[in-house]
Amino acid sequence: MKTGLILVDIQNDYFPGGTMELVGIREAGTKAKELLSFFREKRRPTYHIQHISGQKNATFFLPDTPGVEIHDDIKPFPDERVIPKHYPNSFRETGLLEELNKDGITRLVICGAMSHMCIDATTRAAFDLGFDCVVIQDACATRNLDFGGKTITADQVHGSFMAALGSVYARVLSLSDYKGMAGE
pLDDT tens for 144-166 read 999 999 999 999 999 999 999 99
Segment 129-142 mean pLDDT: 98
Domain presence at residue 138: yes
- What angle separates helix 154-168 from helix 120-128, to the nearest 10 degrees? 10
pLDDT surpasses 50 at 182: no
Domain presence at residue 118: yes
Domain presence at residue 183: no
Domain presence at residue 184: no
Domain presence at residue 182: no
Which CATH number do you get for residue 28? 3.40.50.850
Domain presence at residue 54: yes
Least confident of 53-57, 81-85, 154-158, 175-179: 53-57
What is the reported pLDDT for 37? 97
- Bridge-based pairing of strands 145-147 and 150-152 is antiparallel
Segment 75-93 mean pLDDT: 97
Give how many domains the chain has, as a whole number. 1
Q: What is the pLDDT of residues 86-133, one digit of tens each?
A: 999 999 999 999 999 999 999 999 999 999 999 999 999 999 999 999
Domain presence at residue 88: yes
Nearest to 112 by CA among 76, 144, 138: 138
141 is in which domain, residue-wise?
A: 3-177
